């Protein structure tokens, strides 16, 4: 590995995740993605440019190989732009249809947070399936060599009498109707920790926290070691054990480079608060679908946001507070 | 690595009870819930609201609502943009039948001719249809004060008795707002989720559970 200059390995800082846990202690810190919005014309232009560049260099390197040399957040504006074009080509070849890949950057003065009303949630799993569709998660494929279904949200059924007890939680409940008598439901997905254990565990800094709060993954830099999954106290990261099964007709072609763009076998993925939607002003898909209005999302810095209203008027809970992970995902009882 | 280990393995049993730092910061910057609501209210009135503006421009029939001259005349002046009320099309307008040609029958009774599916399970001992529906013009509801309101303001009716829920609803904590998290919002009416005649939220069929790892490994 040391001989190999080209994908750069980190040479300093914590690479094993166990040491000094102050936020931002990893060598690349939380340097955000540069951010690019391609207009159609720019897209066409840069396609031509890339094509010209490749011809000029006379090299036939695949998009993947070329890209592998730079990590997403170290790319200059132009590199990122070119990379998006390559990605779109890659997906065009894979799916036979155009996939729009954007890199909408974070906005200043925005810190996203989420709150979930446990006294409303009825465990209907509409959110789970809306999330799968929106975020291009791998579907079940019984015929495949390795069935690799992925769901970012897991809804746990628990006894009202016992309270929140993750050891006794049931994710496979399937009655004719929900809610069941005496039960309550707790959906769990990435908690978007401010002091995230997963990002510190990553030996290649392929995962980091963006300034607006989401913990994201560079799918092309991820080496699939799954240290982050072990570090995460909430069990909310997912791994593509097999080739993702994503039929063309179920593809969401509206994607963000750090979010729902289609993944490959061998990489980790997880909830990003629907980065492709929220960076463009929309609510996450799970918030939109929730039939009981249990899911609240917004900007912590905005006094008019739902999230602030929750924090100011309700008692909120976070999972495993003693670990000091500082989730930006709150649970509350709206009653 | 076994997929089964992805199931939550907690190290503690319960969630913590205090706000984390961030929340505290947000709070410190804080506006009281009420102040917050007041601001939301102001915004709803001051800014031109595309949802409402388009609604206002449409001919009333298209929205399924009658023109309402007293719409903004309630004492609080709180009006929110909402989607079309979920009234069945063939019943609208109500005045196609309720044309005041026969006297109003205010007696509590089992309805036999029409609306037979409506069973009042909402504090029924104390309430009858015309406590909410306007007797003289069925295209309107009315508040306890006698002020009539349109069906797209039915939250005001509910808010009379469920003030706590109404306050939460205005700031987006109870119920649901759609639109943009940093921009224009639409409020689902209480009656989009609660049948006003039988308001308990109805159970739903859950969507498919996840596959058990043992079934696909």
Please tell me whether residues A115 and A54 are part of one structural domain. Answer: no
Contacts of A182 (CB under 8 A, 6+ apart): A159, A160, A161
Q: Which domain holds residue A175?
A: 110-251+263-335
Q: Which residue has the tokens 């004719």?
A: A176
A interface test, pick of B172, B174, B184 with most A CB neighbours within 10 Å: B172
Which of A13-22, B98-107, B153-162 is predicted with the least confidence, judged by mean pLDDT? Answer: A13-22
Please tell me whether residues A219 and A279 are part of one structural domain. Answer: yes
Q: pLDDT tier at A125 (50, 70, 90 boundaries)? A: very high
Please tell me whether residues A185 and A48 are part of one structural domain. Answer: no
Q: Does residue A183 fall inside a structural domain?
A: yes
Q: Does residue A166 fall inside a structural domain?
A: yes
User: What pLDDT is recorded for position A69?
Assistant: 58
Left, alpha or beta for B210 (phi > 0: left; psi -120 to 50: alpha)? beta
Which of A14-23, A195-204, A308-317, B95-104 is predicted with the least confidence, judged by mean pLDDT? Answer: A14-23
Q: Does residue A103 fall inside a structural domain?
A: no
Q: How far is B139 from chain A (nearest CA, A)?
A: 28
**Tokens at A242, concatenated:** 């097999």
Backbone φ, ψ for residue B164 (5° rounding): -65, -45
All residues of chain B having their beta carbon less than 8 Å from the beta carbon of residue A165 are 13-14
All residues of chain B having their beta carbon less than 8 Å from the beta carbon of residue A327 are 20
Q: pLDDT tens-digit profile of A191-214?
A: 999 999 999 999 999 999 999 999
Contacts of A20 (CB under 8 A, 6+ apart): A14
User: What pLDDT is recorded for position B104?
Assistant: 87
* B173 contacts A334? CB cut-off 8 A: yes
User: What pLDDT is recorded for position A34?
Assistant: 74
What 8-state DSSP symbol labels residue A183? E
All residues of chain A having their beta carbon less than 8 Å from the beta carbon of residue B2 are none
Complex prediction ipTM: 0.79
Residue A58 clears pLDDT 50, i.e. is over it: no
Please tell me whether residues A288 and A179 are part of one structural domain. Answer: yes
User: What pLDDT is recorded for position A111?
Assistant: 97
Domain count for chain A: 2
A242 has a chain B CB within 8 A of its CB = no
Residue A14 clears pLDDT 50, i.e. is over it: no
Residue B129's SS3 state is helix
CA A96 to chain centre: 25
User: What pLDDT is recorded for position A55?
Assistant: 45
Contacts of A24 (CB under 8 A, 6+ apart): A30
Please tell me whether residues A50 and A141 are part of one structural domain. Answer: no
Q: pLDDT tens-digit profile of B146-171?
A: 999 999 999 999 999 999 999 999 99
B interface test, pick of A303, A322, A331 with most B CB neighbours within 10 Å: A303
Please tell me whether residues A47 and A116 are part of one structural domain. Answer: no
More confident residue, B183 or A295: A295
Nearest CB among A113, A167, A305 relative to B10 is that of A167
Q: Does residue A59 fall inside a structural domain?
A: yes
Please tell me whether residues A222 and A116 are part of one structural domain. Answer: yes
pTM of the model: 0.81
The answer to whether A226 and A268 have CB atoms below 8 angstroms apart is: yes
The answer to whether B139 and B66 have CB atoms below 8 angstroms apart is: yes
CA A179 to chain centre: 29
Residue A107 clears pLDDT 90, i.e. is over it: yes
Q: Does residue A194 fall inside a structural domain?
A: yes
Q: Does residue A320 fall inside a structural domain?
A: yes
Q: Which residue has the tokens 């040609």?
A: B101
Q: pLDDT tier at B73 (50, 70, 90 boundaries)? A: very low
Please tell me whether residues A119 and A52 are part of one structural domain. Answer: no
User: What pLDDT is recorded for position A73?
Assistant: 85
Range A52-76 average pLDDT? 58
Please tell me whether residues A54 and A128 are part of one structural domain. Answer: no
Residue A152 clears pLDDT 60, i.e. is over it: yes
The answer to whether A200 and A16 have CB atoms below 8 angstroms apart is: no
Q: Does residue A77 fall inside a structural domain?
A: no
List beta partners, residue A188.
A154
The alpha carbon torsion through A16, A20, A22, A26 (nearest 10 deg) reads: -40
Which of A107-116, B50-59, B175-184 is predicted with the least confidence, judged by mean pLDDT? Answer: B50-59
Q: Does residue A7 fall inside a structural domain?
A: no
Please tell me whether residues A229 and A316 are part of one structural domain. Answer: yes
Q: Which residue has the tokens 């609306």?
A: B115
CA A173 to chain centre: 26
Q: pLDDT tier at A71 (50, 70, 90 boundaries)? A: confident
Range A314-332 average pLDDT? 96
Please tell me whether residues A50 and A117 are part of one structural domain. Answer: no
Rounded Cα–Cα distance for residues A104 and B5 (Å): 34
Q: pLDDT tens-digit profile of A280-321?
A: 999 999 999 999 999 999 999 999 899 999 999 999 999 999
Q: pLDDT tier at B3 (50, 70, 90 boundaries)? A: very low
* B16 contacts A313? CB cut-off 8 A: no
Residue A240 clears pLDDT 80, i.e. is over it: yes
Range B100-114 average pLDDT? 89
Rounded Cα–Cα distance for residues A319 and A329 (Å): 8
Contacts of B108 (CB under 8 A, 6+ apart): B128
Please tell me whether residues A201 and A333 are part of one structural domain. Answer: yes
The answer to whether A36 and A103 have CB atoms below 8 angstroms apart is: yes
The answer to whether B170 and B80 have CB atoms below 8 angstroms apart is: yes
All residues of chain A having their beta carbon less than 8 Å from the beta carbon of residue B183 are 281
User: What pLDDT is recorded for position B18?
Assistant: 30
Residue B76 clears pLDDT 60, i.e. is over it: no
Write the CATH number for A151. 3.30.70.20
């Amino acid at each position: 590995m040391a001989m190999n200059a080209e994908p750069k390995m980190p040479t300093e800082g914590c690479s094993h995740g166990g040491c000094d846990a102050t936020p931002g202690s990893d060598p690349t810190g939380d340097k955000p993605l540069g951010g690019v919005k391609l207009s159609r014309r720019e897209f066409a232009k840069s396609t031509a440019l890339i094509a010209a560049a490749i011809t000029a260099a006379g090299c036939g390197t695949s998009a993947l190989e070329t890209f592998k040399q730079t990590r997403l957040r170290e790319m200059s504006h132009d590199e990122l732009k070119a990379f998006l074009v390559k990605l779109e080509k890659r997906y065009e070849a894979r799916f036979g249809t155009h996939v729009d890949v954007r890199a909408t950057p974070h906005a200043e003065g925005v810190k996203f947070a989420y709150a979930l009303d446990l006294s409303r949630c009825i465990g209907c799993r509409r959110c789970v399936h809306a999330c799968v569709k929106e975020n291009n998660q791998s579907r079940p494929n019984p015929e495949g060599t390795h069935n690799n279904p992925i769901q970012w949200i897991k809804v746990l059924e628990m006894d009202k009498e016992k309270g929140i007890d993750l050891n006794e939680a049931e994710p496979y409940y399937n009655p004719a109707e929900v809610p069941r008598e005496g039960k309550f439901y707790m959906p769990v997905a990435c908690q978007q920790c401010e002091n995230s254990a997963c990002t510190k565990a990553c030996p290649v800094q392929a995962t980091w926290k963006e300034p607006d709060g989401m913990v994201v993954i560079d799918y092309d830099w991820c080496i699939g070691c799954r240290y982050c999954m072990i570090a995460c106290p909430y069990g909310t990261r997912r791994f593509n054990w097999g080739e993702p099964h994503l039929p063309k007709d179920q593809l969401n072609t509206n994607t963000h480079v750090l979010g729902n763009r289609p993944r490959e076998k061998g990489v980790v993925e997880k909830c990003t608060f629907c980065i492709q939607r929220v960076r463009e002003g929309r609510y996450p898909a799970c918030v939109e679908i929730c039939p009981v209005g249990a899911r609240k999302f917004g900007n912590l810095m905005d006094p008019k946001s739902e999230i602030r209203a929750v924090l100011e008027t309700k008692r909120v809970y976070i999972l495993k507070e003693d670990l000091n992970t500082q989730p930006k995902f709150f649970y509350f009882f709206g009653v | 690595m076994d997929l089964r280990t992805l199931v939550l393995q907690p190290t503690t049993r319960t969630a913590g009870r205090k706000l984390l730092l961030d929340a505290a910061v947000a709070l410190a910057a804080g506006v009281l819930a009420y102040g917050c609501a007041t601001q939301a209210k102001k915004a709803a009135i001051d800014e031109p609201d595309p949802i409402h503006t388009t609604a206002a421009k449409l001919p009333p029939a298209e929205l399924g609502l009658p023109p309402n001259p007293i719409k903004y005349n309630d004492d609080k002046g709180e009006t929110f943009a909402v989607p079309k009320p979920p009234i069945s099309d063939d019943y609208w307008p109500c005045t196609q039948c309720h044309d005041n040609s026969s006297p109003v029958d205010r007696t509590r009774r089992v309805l036999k001719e029409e609306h037979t599916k409506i069973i009042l399970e909402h504090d029924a001992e104390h309430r009858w249809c015309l406590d909410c529906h306007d007797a003289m013009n069925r295209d309107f509801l009315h508040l306890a004060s006698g002020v009539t309101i349109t069906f797209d303001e039915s939250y005001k009716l509910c808010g009379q008795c469920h003030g706590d829920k109404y306050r939460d609803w205005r700031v987006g904590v109870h119920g649901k707002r759609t639109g943009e998290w940093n921009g224009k919002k639409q409020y689902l009416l209480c009656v989009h989720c609660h049948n006003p005649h039988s308001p308990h939220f109805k159970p739903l069929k859950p969507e498919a559970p996840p596959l058990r790892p043992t079934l696909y490994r």
